C-alpha cells in the first residue's frame, strides 16, 4: 500500500480523534472546547474525501471508515454535548431526545452508504447537523436554552428525512 492511499485515511482518523477528544472535553464540562473540536472535525471530514478523489485513491474501506468516524464526531459527540448542557435537566425525555439524534445520525450514514447517489444528498448530512449543533452551543450565550430540545429533534428528523440537498 502506498503512502498516497494512506493519507486520506489518516485525515479520516484525525476526524475520529477530534470526536473522541470532544467527548472527553464534554465529560470534563469544557463545553466550548468540545464544540470547537467538533467544528475542527467538520473541516477534516470535508478534506478527506477531496484528497482521496484528488489522489485517485477512493476505496470502499475509506468510505466505511469515514462513516464510522462521522458517527462518533457528528452523532455521538454532539448528542452527549447537548445532553450534558441542556437536555439532562429535562430527565428521561432529554435523554431520549439526545439518543434519537445519535440514532438518526447512524441511520443517515447507513442509508448514505448503500444508496451511492453522486449528485445530491437525501436528508441533511450528519456533518452539517453536528456543525449546526456545535455552532448553536458556541452561541448559547445569546440563544435561549429552551431551543436546544427543539433543535436536537429537528436536526435528528432532517438527517433521516427525504429532502434532496444538492452536492457541491
Q: Which domain holds residue 88?
A: 3-166
Distance CA 75, CA 91 (A): 20
For the record, the C-alpha cell of 15 comes out as 476526524
Q: Per the structure, how many domains does the chain have?
A: 1
More confident position, 167 or 70: 70
Distance CA 139, CA 107 (A): 28
**pLDDT at position 127, please?**
97
pLDDT above 70 coverage of the chain, percent: 99
pLDDT above 90 coverage of the chain, percent: 92
Phi, psi of 121 (to 5 degrees): -100, 150
Among 2-11, 16-25, 35-44, name the one with the lowest average pLDDT: 2-11
Phi, psi of 14 (to 5 degrees): -65, -35
State pLDDT tens for residues 37-95.
Answer: 999 999 999 999 999 999 999 999 999 999 999 999 999 999 999 999 999 999 999 99
**pLDDT at position 74, please?**
98
Assign residue 45 the CATH number of its domain. 1.20.120.1760
| CB-based contacts of 86, cutoff 8 Å, min separation 6 | 94, 145, 148, 149
**pLDDT at position 168, please?**
74
Collapsing DSSP to helix, strand or coil, 10 comes out as helix
For residue 1, pLDDT beyond 80: no
Amino acid at each position: 500500500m502506498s503512502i498516497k492511499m494512506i493519507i486520506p485515511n489518516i485525515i479520516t482518523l484525525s476526524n475520529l480523534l477530534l470526536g473522541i477528544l470532544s467527548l472527553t472535553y464534554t465529560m470534563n464540562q469544557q463545553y466550548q472546547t468540545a464544540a470547537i473540536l467538533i467544528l475542527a472535525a467538520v473541516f477534516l471530514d470535508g478534506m478527506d474525501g477531496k484528497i482521496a478523489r484528488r489522489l485517485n485513491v477512493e476505496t470502499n474501506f475509506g468510505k466505511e471508515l469515514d462513516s464510522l468516524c462521522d458517527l462518533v464526531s457528528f452523532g455521538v459527540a454532539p448528542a452527549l454535548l447537548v445532553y450534558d448542557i441542556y437536555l439532562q435537566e429535562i430527565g428521561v425525555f432529554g435523554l431520549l431526545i439526545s439518543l434519537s439524534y445519535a440514532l438518526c445520525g447512524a441511520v443517515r450514514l447507513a442509508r448514505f452508504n448503500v444508496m451511492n447517489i453522486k449528485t445530491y444528498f437525501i436528508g441533511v448530512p450528519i456533518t452539517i447537523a453536528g456543525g449546526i449543533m456545535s455552532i448553536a452551543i458556541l452561541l448559547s450565550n445569546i440563544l435561549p436554552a429552551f431551543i436546544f430540545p427543539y433543535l436536537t429533534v429537528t436536526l435528528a428528523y432532517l438527517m433521516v428525512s427525504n429532502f434532496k440537498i444538492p452536492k457541491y
